[in-house]
Amino acid sequence: MKPTSRRILALAGVAAVAPLLIAATAQSGDPYVWLEDIHGEKALAAVDKWNAETMAALTAAPTYEKDRVEAKAIMDDDAQIAEPGQVMGDVVTNLWQDARHTHGLWREASLASFKAGKPEWKTLIDLDALSKAENQKWVWHGADCLAPEYKRCLISLSPGGSDADVVREWDRTTGKFVDGGFELPQAKSGVTWQDSDTLLVGTDWGAGSMTDSGYPRVLKRWKRGTPLSSATTVMEGAPSDISVGSFAIMDGDKRYVFVTRATSFYTGRAWVEGAGGALMPVPMPDTADLHGIIGGKLLAYLNKPMGEFKAGSVISWPIAPIAEGKAPAPSLVFAPTDKQAVQSVSTTDHAVWINLLDNVSGKLLALKPDSDGGWTQTVASLPDKATIALDAGDDKSDTVFATVQSFTVPPTLYAVGADGKANAVQSLPAKFDASKIDVEQYFATSKDGTKVPYFLARKKGATKPAAAFIHAYGGFRAAQLPTYLTTQPYRAGPVAMWWVDEGQVYVLANIRGGGEYGPGWHDSALRQNRQRAYDDLYAVAEDLVARGLTTKGKIAVSGRSNGGLMAGVAVTQRPDLFGAAIIGSPLLDMKRYSHLLAGASWMAEYGNPDVPGDWAFIRKYSPYQAVKKGTKYPPVFFYSSTEDDRVHPGHARKMAAKLIDYGNPVYFHEYRLGGHSVGGDHGEDAVRAALIHAYLDRVLIKGDKSAP
């Protein structure tokens, strides 16, 4: 499968170094601004104190150690899907982690043995051995091997799990890093092979080379055998841009190189290299996303209407005229219905693959060009009412690999042909008895009358109200889809399984701001309309109460990153409704967010708090400013990472300090490593799962509202 190429928006780029502006902010009267000093002695002393109090309280739970051991065993189980990372000619790659390989093995197997379900693996890079040899905890960030030979690879490794990483050239024929080869120091770099001796590089070139969001502003061409400092400029963006970057797409054996300039999180421009390296503009709207090339046709997804084509459609242009500087007319490839949403678009040599949501249930379509210039659709024969994730595919045979799962159906990897036939390659054994669990999809009515879907799992035959655990996100076009109950979102492992087994209610809410129903579902909760996402959450919680499934005060809300913002809003706006909140790697101080790390890149989503008109609507929900003396808030569990270089750990720290000083109980756990994903291996993930379960039991089930 050709790489799914999109407008590069900034979630991989240069190290985030937006200034903290601590002195200026201190003058504004924020008494907790010192907690923004990420590695400051005073700040870390507070973190250590809170961590110790939380660990002492929650590890004392009778179930803690049992939970931790069980969670790690589930995550480390050799019976896990060997997800295909990339098909490179006649081999498939995979990153494998288990109890013996906590950092992971990057390995390959023949495509034939993989399709047969009996892969014969060969280790390429042993990350545990590399970490030990170099005395550095390396976390895998991926490999880009130059097609079509796939001999030379650019390996990205993160120290401890931060977004920033190092890039090293590696030789697949020798199995070694290339002595004197391409190498970039730690940064949020974006790197693309132009050819075997040339890279396009966006990285930290020094003062002024980064955007306000902390990502590459300058893209350069770097020739083999020359120092990085001699690289020549290809494109420069403005400081207010999100990033400048590049990517490449293969169409058969032809390689197309693109340069991108993201002017906001949702807008950008793209150019394709033409003859002599000249950059030719791609004639698509600045809100559209590129998604591959097939048979000389460039594919794009429309986030906004374009002429006769509605938002959510996939369209195409002939690429050859574009590379010559022309602007040919587009044509329609696929248009979803009002209840459908395109999740992803990929290509093999002769088929376009569309991973589709139909009323929040997955479908996989294979589209092949017909003789009339249109497209023939085939629906893959995959299980109904399930979540589908496209992994990788084999271009020549027009086969893709797709992982299918639901709350009660364990992940199964299928090989799917363009004729729609699907063969199971690997299926995980069940971790629990699914016959004892009911799964339902309900619809709540939000404040403005919008019907909001949510999925619910509970024990079969349950009739009495129970404690409810709602997970949601509501932003950045990211749909929240049901996964097996041992893989609760954001690497919290089997928490959902434990919760349902104990007779409680687990809910995944599809609130606005996500992409469950296409671009409109997201756009309706942007900027000044952000409150709609939170109203959707409250509607789901109140619908659970109305159905007799739970009661007010017995509901926990859970979210991470933007979802952490949502959970923070929930406990400050509706402390009467929620009895607990799990808030991970959150944005919380929305007055300061755009000045902290990568925060400036998200102003298209939330607005600019430095603009009075924008702050007027942001301040209405910003959790940090909403905390008031005299109001009793439910006990909150914060988790984060010191080395999160995307969302600043100061958000969670400052909110925790404020809540504590105002007399509210707070549980707090900040890992030293792990980056935005929080935790660099299964051991750390298992600890978090056990802590969350102990917290929920203590606060929501036993009703203990005391401080840890």
- Write out the catalytic residue numbers: 561, 676
Structure token pair of residue 669: 């756990």
- DSSP label of 434: G
- In the sheet that 289-294 helps form, which strands lie side by side, from edge to edge? 289-294, 297-301, 314-318, 331-334
Task: Fill in the DSSP letter of residue 214.
Answer: S
Neighbours of 66 (CB within 10 A): 12
Find, among 592, 708, 599, 692, the residue nearest to 645 by Cα.
599
Other Cβ atoms within 10 Å of 254 Cβ, number:
11
Token digits of residue 558: 């859970």
Separation of alpha carbons 574 and 355, rounded Å: 36
Secondary structure (DSSP) of 271-334: EEE-GGG-EEE--S-TT-EEEEEETTEEEEE-SS-BTTBPTT-EEEEEHHHHHTT--PPPEEEE
Q: How far apart are CA 11 and CA 645, in angstroms?
A: 11
Write the burial class of residue 442 (CB in 10 Å: 0-12 exposed, 13-18 middle, 19+ buried).
middle
Residue 577's Cβ-side half-sphere holds a number of Cα atoms within 13 Å equal to 22
The owner of tokens 């920033």 is 164
> Can you tell me the distance from the alpha carbon of 567 to that of 574, in angstroms, rounded to the nearest whole number?
10
Residue 62 makes CB contacts below 8 A (sequence gap 6+) with none
Q: Which helix (H) or strand (E) holds 246?
A: strand 243-251
Q: Are the C-beta atoms of 417 and 385 separated by less than 8 Å?
A: no
Residue 318: count of CB within 10 angstroms of its CB: 16
**Helix extents (H) in 97-242:** 111-115, 127-134
- DSSP H helix total and E strand total for the chain: 15, 37
Distance CA 568, CA 589 (A): 10
Look up residue 582 and give its two tokens. 């799990």
Residue 340 backbone phi and psi in degrees, to 5: -115, 160
Q: Sheet holding 412-417: strands in order across?
A: 387-394, 399-405, 412-417, 422-427
Distances (CA, A) of 137 to 72, 103, 162, 490: 19, 8, 11, 21
Neighbour tally for 428: CB within 10 Å? 18
